[in-house]
Structure 1
């Protein structure tokens, strides 16, 4: 008996030691935050960003940064048609991060008119920025409009985001705004925020940027922490947050977008579920789009993101959401559902990114199309009874995938126009790496199953 107890104690000790070693090996990945180098606040108004407001598709917010204390600040707004110039006072707030502090300002522009060109400049403490320009759209009963969607960016310092975005906007000059699926910034560090604004330079000041939170936007603790500066930059959250949940909805023409924060713990997600249910049930929009960072159907494994799926997916399907835009998994995947007759049905789920990082994926049969070696963006175009989601390779600008959703007689028809475009399944393995060899075999098996 004594020997048996000794064996049990020894086995228990080994299990505890093994568990402790495993936790130690994963501790930095779970809770480690890269240090933030000391930084100085801007000496001139900068990091200007145009976003949406909290009222309707015509409301705009302008945010910027200047100094480390709050000064009297405002926006001068000129209507280029009427030649009228108005002054909109800004609200300021000082934020202290781990290694510095800066003052952030937000001016809320309301009563804008549709189909107008505006010029503006920001001013803090008598210091003016250069003049910027933007245009409103949102004509009554507007039938044709579009926006671009990008997933994770997480660019390196001196990265290529600005080049990619300018090229995409040159290819689609009719774009009315830009939507980001989280992880726009590599880490909540001033140097990376500087890189984010460099990537958005001459873009984020001229068309509204709508961004949801990603896991890289958070500081990692047992209970994750989102810094206040995220909301001071993407200032629509200042008015739309529910508790500590970064949620937001935008009605734009006959479309409504619902932004979620899928990075939070269960009890926060439950609050978001109640918010989403209320918003979806009272929505009268013809087109409904949900945006969140974590894919409800993962392309990395069927058990990933189960909490997010259990919280949101039934609501999305029951309330006839048309499109779900997602990121996080650094490859491309597109899927639709199917009815009893095998016809494709909405929602249309897409996972996309334009980051330097690439992740391995799991080839689930439920997905209609994948993309391994590539960076992508989506154009969502409403034209008459149709919403088209066209996916483009961000480097070549070539069409990679295309799906049309057509609404007629209260039903939505799904037309797969991208099935004849070859899938990008390029992968160059390191044959000395076991995981690379296994992944190559998975790709080969997928190609054989699809007859590629």
Structure 2
């Protein structure tokens, strides 16, 4: 009996030591927050961002940063047709981060006209920003419109985001707004926020920018924490949050977007599920698009993100959501739903990114297309009874994938017009690297399964 007890205690000790070593190795990944260097606030009104406001497609919010105390501030808004000028008061709030503080301002524009051009500048304490310009759309009869979607950006300091985004917008000048799938900023640190605004320079001041939260937007603790400055910058969340959940919906012509915060713990996700259910049930939009950070069908492993999937996926399918836009996994993947007769149907699930970092994927059989070495963006275009999603390679502008959702006579048809475009499966294993060689084997197995030339 004594010998058995010693064996049991020894096994228990080994398990506890192994568990402790594993936790120690993962501690920084779970709870490690890189330090934030001491910083000073903007000494001129800066980091200006244009976005939507309430659920109305003609609403706009303008946010900016200036100094570290709140001064009387406003937006000067000029109608470029009539030359009328309005002064719209802004609200201000001081945010203290881990290593500095700054005052953030938000002005809410709620009387804009459709198909109109405006000029504006922001003012705090008598100091003005440069003049910026934007245009509204949304005529009641408008049945053709488009926006661009990018997954994770997470650019390094002095990165190339601004170049890629400007190149994409030059290729698609009809774009009406920009949507991001989270992790727009590498970390909640002032230097990275500065890089985010450099990446959005001359874009975020003229095109409305929407983003959902990503895991890199959070500080890592046993219960994650999203800093207040995220909502002060993306100010539509100030009026749309449910408790601490960053959720938002936008009705745009005959389309509705539903933005979720998939980074939260189970009890927060449950609250979001109730919100999403309520929003979907009362929506009369012809086109429904859900945006969240974590893919409901992972391209990194079929057991990833199961909590998010269990919370949201049944609602998304039940209410015939057309498109689910996702990020997080730093590769490209597109999956189309199928009915009981194996006919393709909505939802169409898309995972995408435009980041310097790329991750390895497992090539699940349910997916229709992958991309493992590149940066991508999606053009979502509505033309009458058709929603078209074109995926482009951000580095060269080439069309990479394409799918159409056509709705006629209460019938929905899915047309996979990207299946004949070659997949980007470039990978060069490092000599002697076992992990690289195994990944190369996985790629070759996928090519054999799809009858792609090795």
Provide the TM-score with structure 2 as the length reference. 0.99
Show CA shifts across 1:303-331 (max 9, x none): 00000000000000000100000000000
Structure 1 equivalent of residue 138 of structure 2:
138
Question: Which residue pairs with 1:119 in the alignment?
Answer: 119
Find the residue that maps to 2:43 and give its secondary structure: coil
Question: How far off its partner does 1:198 sit?
Answer: 0.1
- What is the Cα deviation at residue 338 of structure 1? 1.1
How many Å separate the matches in 2 of 1:24 and 1:373?
32
Cα distance in 1 for residues equivalent to 2:125 and 2:348: 48
Indicate the SS of the match to 2:123: strand
What residue in structure 1 maps to residue 201 of structure 2?
A: 201
Any idea what the Cα deviations from partners look like across 1:397-451, whole Å, max 9, x if unmatched? Answer: 0000000000011121000000000000000111322111000000001001101
How do 1:251-262 residues align onto structure 2 when only pairs under 5 Å count?
251-262=251-262
Contact 2:55/2:249, CA 8 A, preserved across alignment: no
Separation in structure 2 between the aligned mates of residue 55 and residue 448 of structure 1, nearest angstrom: 48
1:201-231 deviations in whole A, cap 9, x for unaligned? 0000000000000000000000000000000
Q: In the aligned structure 1, how far is the partner of 2:415 from the partner of 2:55?
A: 34
Report runs of 4+ in structure 1 exceeding 4 Å deviation.
none
User: 1:323 maps to which residue?
Assistant: 323
Counterpart residue number, 1:106: 106
CA shift, 1:141, in A, is 2.2
The residue that corresponds to 2:292 in the other structure is: 292
Measured against aligned partners, the alpha-carbon deviations of 1:74-133 in whole angstroms (never above 9, x if no partner) come to: 000000111110000000000000000000000000110000000000000000011000
Q: 1:137-286 alignment to 2 at 5 Å?
A: 137-286=137-286
Q: Deviations over 1:212-260 (max 9, x none)?
A: 0000000000000000000000000000000000000000000000000
Distance of 1:304 and 1:2 partners within structure 2? 44
Cα shift at 1:272: 0.1
| CA offsets 1:357-399 (integer angstroms, 9 cap, x no match) | 0100011110000001111000000001000000000000000
Q: Alpha-carbon deviation of 1:18?
A: 1.1
d(CA) in 2 for partners of 1:22, 1:149: 37
**1:47 aligned residue:** 47
Report what 1:76 is aligned to: 76
Instruction: Using the TM superposition, name which of 19-28 and 223-232 deviates more.
Output: 19-28
Distance in 1 between residues matched to 2:404 and 2:55, nearest whole Å: 30
Distance across 2 between alignment mates of 1:225 and 1:403? 37
**1:226 & 1:329 partners in 2: Cα distance?**
20
Residue 301 of structure 2 corresponds to: 301
Question: What SS does the aligned partner of 1:231 have?
Answer: helix
Task: Identify the residue that residue 413 of structure 1 maps to in structure 2.
Answer: 413
Question: 5+ residue gaps in structure 2?
Answer: none
Q: 1:54 deviation in Å?
A: 0.8
Q: Which residue of 1 aligns with 2:371?
A: 371
Which residue in 2 is equivalent to 1:431?
A: 431
Residue by residue, what CA displacement relative to the aligned partner does 1:259-300 show, whole Å, maximum 9, x if unpaired?
Answer: 000000000000000000000000000000000000000000
- The CA distance in 1 between the partners of 2:130 and 2:291, in whole Å, is 33
Equivalent position SS for 2:423: coil
Q: Does 1:385 align with 2:400?
A: no
Q: Is 1:448 the counterpart of 2:422 in the alignment? A: no
CA RMSD of aligned residues (A): 0.5
Structure 2: how far apart are the matches of 1:225 and 1:332? 28
Distance 1:7 1:411 in 2: 66
CA distance in structure 2 between the partners assigned to 1:82 and 1:128 by the alignment? 22
CA distance, structure 1, for counterparts of residue 43 and residue 5 of structure 2:
70
Unaligned runs of 5+ residues in structure 1 are none
- Name the CA distance, whole Å, in 2 between partners of 1:241 and 1:229: 14
Cα distance in 1 between the residues matched to 2:282 and 2:355: 36
User: In structure 2, what is the equivalent of residue 15 of structure 1?
Assistant: 15
Distance 2:303 2:167 in 1: 37
SS at match of 2:304: coil
The TM-score, its normalising length taken from structure 1, stands at: 1.00
Displacement of 1:11: 1.1
| Residue of structure 2 in register with 1:395 after alignment | 395
